[in-house]
Amino acid sequence: MNYSNIFVIIFLASTVFSLFLDQALEFLDYYNRLKNGRKVPKELSGIIVEEKLKCICAYEDAKYVLQIPESILYAGLSLLLVCGGVYAFILKFTLQNVTHAAFFAVFLFALVSSVPGKIVSLPFELYREFSIEKRFGFSVMTFKMWVLDRIKDCIVPLCITALLLAVMTLIFSVFRSSWWIFLAAAYICISLLISLIYPLFIAPLFNKFTALPEGELKDRLEKLLAKCAFKAKGLFVMDASRRSRHSNAYFTGFGNAKRVVLYDTLIKQLLPQEIEAVLAHELGHYKKHHIVKRLCIMIPLVILALFAAYRLSLSRGMLDAFGFSFLNESYRTVECFTSLFLLGIVFGGFGGLLGAVGNYFSRKDEFEADAFAAKICGDGGDLSNALIKLNMENMSEISVPKIYSVFNYNHPPLLERLRALGYKGGGVNR
């Protein structure tokens, strides 16, 4: 490990920066809860009581207490695996003692190197699910169901990873000097393929989806879809209540595979006109072409990032500095993969900065979708009522420090959305 190498310095700086940023933001949010978390905003006077805010603060505090050791342990594990040469040892051992085949080498490396993180995350996931979520009345998960979900959570990503690595190693071996452009094209195509097959094959592995029954709600939603000229495969109800009392709604897929999905918990918590307003918001993303716009931004960014990775991979400095000097021209395919892997580690700690930029545009899209829903539904009253109910049911914070939402919220905080919708209070029960 060469600690004077610029890539090693950047890795250490990004790891420390990420840990400091996370802890600083979470502390600011915690301090804000202590000062303002139990104060009922004037917009919600008579709708939400102080006792509910105390419960929300307790829920957020419980998650914060768990976040502190979790983030510190993850940072420490990252430093140990990189600075201790564990990643380099795993790949070297695999190539010298298991297989020389590029695909199997990188697949085994990806599989084995992910194990320490999975092990560290297990106790935190268990505590979060069976202590925090159950204590605050959200989780109805059984231990057997949790274990089965974790197994599925391992198998599904493993299959996707195998596909990605197979394509990646093939491209590295065939296109020695132009792999970055072909890899970008493959990444985009596979991403679109996954979004196509997810609602049909992957999501049903975890939840049961049934057609929305006949009635007022279905009539309202079908009229809304027709009004917005949105063609969907169908309206489905997801049995989210088998695991949790959290609620949501979304549409997924593209082309003829588009599906509108409502959590069964959402149907229990909201009135039909409020669910219609929530769906109108989701349709606002479609009508405002937010998904297409994001793709138009993402595609050139992916190409640019992979081109930069290609240029950096031509230098041996990074590989040698992190202990991968054993890779030579005969391992060119593995060398390209390792360069990408190391770049992700080196600059990964600065992901929060890119996330803040992405959150800005995401929140902008949310405001536009809210405005669309208010227009299509006649006013913003039903959407405002729905947002307030969902916020209370999910026990989300009412107001957070601005800097915290910049880095952590891809949706605007509740009060910002209500003010943008022109909400004056006095709703929810009407």
Enumerate the active-site residues: 282, 370
Which of 152, 76, 83 lies closest to 117, judged by CA? 76
| Spatial contact of 256 and 236, defined as CB atoms under 8 Å apart | no
| Spatial contact of 319 and 327, defined as CB atoms under 8 Å apart | yes
CA–CA distance, 430 with 423 (Å, rounded to integer)? 14
CA–CA distance, 411 with 390 (Å, rounded to integer)? 13
User: Taking the mean position of all CA atoms in its chain, how far away is CA 30?
Assistant: 22
Token pair recorded at residue 409: 């919220």
DSSP annotation of 39: P
CA–CA distance, 315 with 313 (Å, rounded to integer)? 5
Which of 300, 38, 277, 345 lies closest to 184, judged by CA? 300
Q: Strand 259-263 and strand 249-252: pairing?
A: antiparallel
CA–CA distance, 342 with 41 (Å, rounded to integer)? 47
Residue 285 is labelled as binding a ligand: yes
Q: Which residues contact 167 (CB under 8 A, 6 or more apart)?
A: 186, 190
Which of 358, 353, 416, 347 lies closest to 22, judged by CA? 353
DSSP annotation of 350: T
SS3 of 378, please? coil
> Could you give the angle at which helices 216-227 and 272-287 cross, rounded to 10 degrees?
20
Which parts are annotated binding residues for Zn(2+)? 281, 285, 366
Please enumerate, by residue number, every residue annotated as part of a binding site. 281, 285, 366
